[in-house]
Homo-oligomer: A and B are copies of this chain.
Amino acid sequence: MGVVANEPWLDEDEQKAWRSYLLMRKTLETHLVRHLQREFGLSDSDFEILVNLSESETGRMRAFELGEATQWEKSRISHHLSRMEKRGLIRKAACDARYPEIVLTEQGLEAIKACAPVHAARVRELFVDVLGKERMTALGDAAEDVLAAVDEHQRTSCPPEVRGCG
């Protein structure tokens, strides 16, 4: 039907690059996530939480700190922490008499210690080493620029209540 092809809102090169990016992004993520899941029984969300907890001084954080760190919505945090608690990866410790702290359990610590190096090696093999030092830095910078643009776009062209979570 050529709805898009006949009115190229992105020109050919732009389309090509954009679609390559989309494909890479999806393929790489799917691949990494699948491995994490099959080898360690962890989802990428589990991994993200565990990384953040394990990087903290004490292995304990408030839920909303995790929210800031991960940029997730609070309800997502809440839901996911519940699931992780059921599986014994974390535990909620009521110390503040109000807001529980999220504590990394022994099991959670084992899990992250086991899978992090494997995961990192895979990231290195499939991304870091493929791109090489220079393109990595370039990509990092590019990412910052895009992030800035999105932030700007959020601030200027969205009514505040549309901006969402953060």
Contacts and interface: CB of A to CB of B under 8 A. Distances in A.
Name the interface size band of chain A. Answer: 35 or more
Which secondary structure dominates chain A's binding surface? Answer: helix
A143 B13 contact: no
Given A54-B4, A136-B14, A126 B143 contact: no
Contacts of A127: 18, 146, 149
Contacts of A120: 9-10
Given A9-B116, A38-B162, A164-B34, A143 B3 contact: no
A137 B164 CA distance: 32
Contacts of A51: 4
13 contacts: A1-B53, A1-B58, A1-B104, A2-B54, A3-B113, A10-B124, A10-B128, A24-B143, A25-B143, A27-B150, A28-B150, A130-B145, A135-B138
3 nearest A-B pairs in the assembled complex, by CB-CB distance: A9-B120, A17-B140, A24-B143
Interface of A: 1-5, 7, 9-10, 13-14, 16-18, 20-21, 23-28, 30-31, 34, 38, 51, 53-59, 71, 104, 109, 112-113, 116-117, 120-128, 130-131, 133, 135-140, 142-147, 149-150, 153-154, 162, 164
